Structure 1
Amino acid sequence: METTRMEALIGMLTVLGILVLLVLPAVIGIVRDRRIDRQLREAEQGHPEDQKSSSKPTEPSTATWYADGRRSKKLVSS
């Protein structure tokens, strides 16, 4: 009788382990989606204490400057 109970326990734990492995990715995805939704809601409401800002004004990157120069040349030549 003891062997039968031990085999039943091992079988039940195996089934539960497989169930956890199948459900875990879905749970992780749900938690991730809820975190992203919360961040989007906070961004829409505009909490200034949550946003990181620097005191230095931002400058356009070199790529932006180059693209702006190319656009202005196209407008002048046409």
Structure 2
Amino acid sequence: MTTAQTEGLTAMLVVLGIFVLMVLPSLIGIAHDRRVDRQIREAQQAREETADQKSSSRSTVPSTATWYAEGRRSKKLVSS
């Protein structure tokens, strides 16, 4: 190999190294985002499964409007 070929090879390796250094953070970020997305998706699926299991055993609690209306009805019956 001549000196010109050696310099060309060295320059090509330097450019390739700089390219890798510039692209590597992006690739790491993409991999991190995909991992976080997968974890969020798994958590949502687990939450939906637990919600489906709890929905049949959930006790019914009267709403505030029902409680207020019942209170007013009982006052009317007492005062009349």
Sort the TM-score into its range (normalised by shorter chain).
0.5 to 0.7
How far apart in 2 are the matches of 1:9 and 1:45? 52
- Cα offset for 1:39? 0.3
Q: Which runs of 5+ in 2 are unaligned?
A: 48-80
Higher Cα Rg, which structure:
2
The match for 1:23 is 23
Residue number in structure 1 paired with 2:44: 44
Specify the alignment match of 1:51 in structure 2. none
Can you give the 5+ residue segments of structure 1 that lack an aligned partner in the other structure?
Answer: 48-78
- Tell me the CA shift for residue 2 of structure 1: 1.2
Which AA in structure 1 matches 2:35? R
CA distance in 1, matches of 2:29, 2:23: 10
- CA–CA distance in 1 between the matches of 2:40 and 2:2? 56
Per the alignment, residue 2 of structure 1 pairs with 2
TM-score (norm 1): 0.57
Q: What secondary structure, in the 3-state scheme, does the structure 2 residue paired with 1:46 have?
A: helix
Aligned length: 47
Tell me which protein shows more helix as a share of its residues: 2
Computed over aligned residues only, the root mean square deviation of the Cα atoms, in angstroms, reads: 1.4
Residue deviations 1:51-78, cap 9 Å, x none?
xxxxxxxxxxxxxxxxxxxxxxxxxxxx
Percent of paired sites with the same residue:
60
